[in-house]
């Protein structure tokens, strides 16, 4: 068995072509393009790189972005004030607060201050609740990107046993709810799970979202499983030991080039959707 490669980079590039056409059509109709506001607090180089990549993705499809940069000394009150300004700015259609923020800031309060109509990164509790209940909402970008990738490759989910390793509020938890809404039977594993290996061995669909390099061993994965690795670590490895799975899994996401490109692409995709809602 040779695993089908779920190529997120190729899908993201194809989607950008389609989004460019939608942005052009919106500009022709309304005279405006969608605008994404990104907020970067502090000087973390990795966060700065991610924000730059998101701005470049906006440029590639012809939409605009506003970069808001705040010092590492920013308080929760100051960040909440900036978010409120963007909420009230009719020219802004999407708001991204780059994670993580400095430790003195109440990140959850700031996430939840984002207007749900502009929550194109899917980070608010309101958005999570609506998504979990099957209502219209922007999904958290990484799990929503994974779902789009699985759909593009016609990976069947209904009735399958999906195991999600990790329970973070912006990846593991929303991933589990999205799979549940797709009629998969879902197991969520975490740092207190006993006998993790036995749970993973039962997975038809395995999602690694634990944040530790190659923590999930290839020998734990059952023959023919669909393997989604949402991790990325120095040296170009993910959360799952992928090498031996090329001849064992039925499908897998490469690292890099699998989930990563779909995260940014989904943010931009949802920003275009928001722009269309505001400007139509």
Q: Which residues are catalytic?
A: 54, 98, 121
Q: Which of 23, 45, 41 is nearest to 32 (CA)?
A: 23
Distance CA 226, CA 229 (A): 10
Distance CA 54, CA 74 (A): 22
Distance CA 221, CA 227 (A): 8
Distance CA 24, CA 22 (A): 5
Distance CA 158, CA 184 (A): 5
């Amino acid at each position: 068995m040779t695993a089908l490669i779920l190529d997120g980079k190729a899908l993201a590039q194809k989607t950008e072509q389609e989004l460019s056409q939608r942005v052009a059509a919106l500009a022709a109709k309304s005279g405006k393009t969608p605008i994404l506001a990104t907020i970067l607090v502090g000087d973390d180089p990795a966060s700065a790189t991610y924000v730059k990549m998101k701005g470049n993705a906006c440029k590639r499809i012809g939409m605009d972005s506003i970069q808001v940069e705040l010092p590492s000394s920013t308080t929760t009150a100051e960040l909440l004030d900036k978010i409120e300004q963007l909420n009230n700015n009719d020219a802004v259609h999407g708001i991204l607060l780059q994670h993580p923020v400095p430790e003195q800031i109440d990140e959850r309060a700031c996430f939840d201050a984002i207007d749900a109509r502009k929550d194109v990164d899917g980070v608010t509790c309101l958005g999570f609740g609506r998504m979990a209940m099957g209502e219209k909402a922007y999904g958290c970008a990484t799990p929503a990107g994974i779902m789009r990738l699985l759909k593009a490759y016609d990976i069947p989910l209904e009735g399958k046993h999906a195991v999600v390793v990790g329970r973070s509020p912006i990846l593991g938890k929303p991933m589990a709810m999205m799979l549940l809404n797709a009629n998969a039977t879902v197991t969520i594993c975490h740092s207190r799970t006993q006998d993790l290996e036995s749970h993973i061995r039962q997975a038809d669909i395995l999602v690694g979202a634990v944040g530790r390099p190659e923590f999930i061993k290839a020998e734990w994965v059952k023959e023919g499983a669909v393997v989604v690795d949402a991790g990325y670590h120095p040296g170009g490895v993910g959360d799952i030991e992928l090498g031996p799975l090329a001849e064992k899994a039925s499908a897998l996401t490469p690292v890099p080039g699998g989930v990563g490109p779909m995260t940014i692409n989904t943010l931009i995709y949802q920003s275009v959707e928001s722009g269309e809602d505001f400007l139509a």
